Amino acid sequence: MKKEYYEKIIQELIELIDEGVYIVDNKGVGCFYNDKMASMEKVNVDDVLKKTFSDAFPEVRNTDSTMLKALLKGEPTLKKQQTYKNFYGKEITTINSTIPINIDGETVAAIEVAKDITDIRRMSDTLLELQKEKTTPPEQRKNTIKRYTFDDIHGKNEDFQIALNRARKAAETDASVFIYGETGTGKELFAQSIHYGGKRHNKPFLAQNCAAIPESLLEGLLFGTSKGSFTGAVDREGLFEQANGGTLLLDEISAMPYDLQSKLLRVLQESYIRRVGGMKDIPINVRIIATVNEPPEDLIAQGKLRSDLYYRLNVVNLQIPALRERLDDVQVLAESFLEKFNKRYNKEIWMISDGALKKLKSHDYPGNVRELQNIMEQAVSMSDNEHVLTEKNLAMSTVSRRTKAPAIDFEKDVPLDEYLERIEVKIIRDALIESGGNISKAAEKLQIKRQTLQHKLKKHKLNIE
């Protein structure tokens, strides 16, 4: 195949790639530079092609260039964050991987693949500034940040009360807390209540969703950065330093990169952090509350959560039941939301009708308490001048997650609670029969915890023998 054919194939290939691609020859002259890279670096393709790297990017120091490092030293650089200025002086932040191309021991070219994270970097910096604002004493803040306490948590369900009582006891200690609950069950509500109900209540409470930040930035966000740790880096406190003396909530901790989980484990064991690129050990005193929205044993089996980190964090374990497992709390929650949104939207709805309650209790809430809250907010905000919230105010799906409701014989005027109980008993019986009486398999089939199924068996006096 002719050389020009190879060049055409490469050119077409790099245009298909979603990342930016830049290739230079052994003299540092640009051979290939795709549109994605040009858009990322805010330059024209002609500003780079057939020009040496130094001419195309005069603001980048030779000592900072991963491209020149690959060409001159034959050393690859993988997933390195860089902040630099393009030909027109505009600051760009990317994650770069640069590799030398060696033939017969000679470096003949270098390839750089880059992902633009300029906006993400700005978001990360903004987030740190906002988190720092949270640590400012309340009297110095212009806006009051909402704080949740145990008074904001409502529910009388037995399993829910077990979790709530454990949380109250946890507030009296400094032990790490590990919370499992599906999305929308109120994990942060519990975490804040533990913090503000304990002796650290007048210290910072900071929260970070580990799934919301790219892994390339999460380490710097948590531990801070030291000037010179990467191009454009400045000395900046991370969340651990900002939360010192208080509590740091790590939401969806299983989304944290596996290697970073190992570093977090060391911090928990040794009580000091080291900024990214720094040499100084900084003592910290931070209580960690971690949350996951999938069973931790499943996350460990899938390799998403380190078992050693889990056991280190799981000093106090909380399991918040899903709303479908505590439908007896729907009324008290709905009435609480009614009061809240009456005030917010200046309404005067005094009560919820029996029909509306029946409709609310017949739903299985895949979105949990958050879904119920949204249903009630919509109902109140869109109401007219009525004083009773009825079925017609509730804009919600009548179809549950189950594709078909089980057929059950019942008298016409059976109360809803009794009817739902009969349905639950039949579903449990069917699951146990299909699972050969194995509780673990039946719980898996029903998508509930084994302990929850055992509680229901006892509640309904079901004999599995």
**What is the H or E stretch that residue 9 is in?**
helix 3-16
Please give the tally of structural domains in the chain.
4
The residue out of 319, 345, 360 marking a domain boundary is: 319
Distance (Å, whole) CA 157 – CA 326: 6
Helix, strand, or coil (residue 405): coil
Query: Whole-number mean pLDDT of the chain?
Result: 83
Q: Does residue 230 share a domain with residue 112?
A: no
**Percentage with pLDDT > 90 across the chain:** 45
Answer whether residue 389 shows pLDDT above 90: yes
| Domain identity same for 246 and 174 | yes
Burial class, 191, CB count within 10 angstroms (exposed 0-12 / middle 13-18 / buried 19+): buried
CATH code, domain carrying 371: 1.10.8.60
What are the angstrom distances between the C-alpha of 266 and each of 99, 386, 412, 438? 32, 58, 63, 40
> Which amino acid is it at 330?
V
Please state the separation of Cα 2 from the chain's center in Å. 51
CATH number at residue 260: 3.40.50.300
Token pair 């699972």 is at which residue? 435
Domain identity same for 10 and 98: yes
Looking up residue 417, the CATH number of its domain turns out to be: 1.10.10
Of the candidates 86, 65, 85, the one whose C-alpha atom is nearest the C-alpha of residue 77 is 65
Nearest residue to 288 (alpha-carbon basis) of 231, 243, 329: 243
- pLDDT, one tens digit per residue, over 405-460 is 444 555 556 677 777 788 888 888 878 777 767 788 888 888 888 878 888 888 88
Q: What are the tens digits of pLDDT across the range 274-318?
A: 988 788 999 999 999 999 999 999 999 999 999 999 999 999 999
Per residue in 110-139, is it b (16+ CB within 10 Å) or e — as a string? bbbbbbbbbebbeebbebbeebbeebeeee
**Distance separating alpha carbons of residues 246 and 141, to the nearest angstrom:** 18
68 touches 100 (CB < 8 A): no
One domain, residues 137 and 249: yes
Local structure of residue 273 (DSSP, 8 states): E
* 3-class SS string, 443-461: HHHHCCCHHHHHHHHHHCC
Neighbours of 370 (CB within 10 A): 15
Q: Do residues 386 and 414 share a domain?
A: no
Measured over the CA atoms of residue 158, residue 159, residue 160 and residue 162, the dihedral's sign is: positive
For residue 214, tell me if it sits in a domain. yes
Q: What is the pLDDT of residues 312-332, one digit of tens each?
A: 999 999 999 999 999 999 999
Note whether 456 and 424 are within 8 A (CB).
Answer: yes
Q: Answer whether residue 65 is part of any domain.
A: yes
Residue 398 domain flag: no
Are 111 and 128 found together in one domain? no
Both 106 and 81 in a single domain? yes
Q: What is the pLDDT of residues 78-126, one digit of tens each?
A: 877 777 666 666 777 777 889 998 888 888 899 988 876 655 555 555 5
| Helix, strand, coil percent values for the chain (each to nearest 5) | 45, 15, 35
Residue 140 pLDDT greater than 50, yes or no: no
Q: Would 364 be classed as within a structural domain?
A: yes
| Beta-strand runs (E) in 44-146 | 77-85, 91-103, 106-116
Task: Indicate if 234 and 88 belong to the same structural domain.
Answer: no
Same domain, 101 and 160: no
368, 393, 418: which is the final residue of a domain? Answer: 393
Place of tokens 């055409």: 8
Contact 360/371 with Cβ under 8 angstroms?
no
pLDDT winner (highest mean) among 25-39, 74-88, 228-242: 25-39
**CA angle, corner 293, sides to 290 and 294, nearest 5?**
110
pTM of model > 0.85 = no
Higher-confidence position of 30 and 461: 30
Of 165, 210, 197, which is closest to residue 318 (Cα–Cα)? 165
Q: Among candidates 412, 242, 443, which has minimal Cα distance to 325?
A: 443
Same structural domain for residues 205 and 270?
A: yes
Q: 39 and 87 share a domain? A: yes
> What share of the chain in percent tops pLDDT 70?
84
Q: Is residue 144 part of a domain?
A: yes
- Look at residue 239 and tell me if it is in a domain: yes
Most confident of 12-26, 30-44, 168-182, 227-241: 168-182
- Total residue count of the chain as it appears in this document: 465
Rg value, the chain, Cα:
29
Residue 399 pLDDT grade (very low, low, confident, very high; cuts 50, 70, 90)? very low
Whether 97 maps to a domain, the answer reads yes
Give a yes or no: residue 369 inside a domain. yes
For residue 389, the enclosing domain spans: 324-393
**Final residue belonging to a domain, choices 92, 116, 140:** 116
| 352/208 same-domain check | no
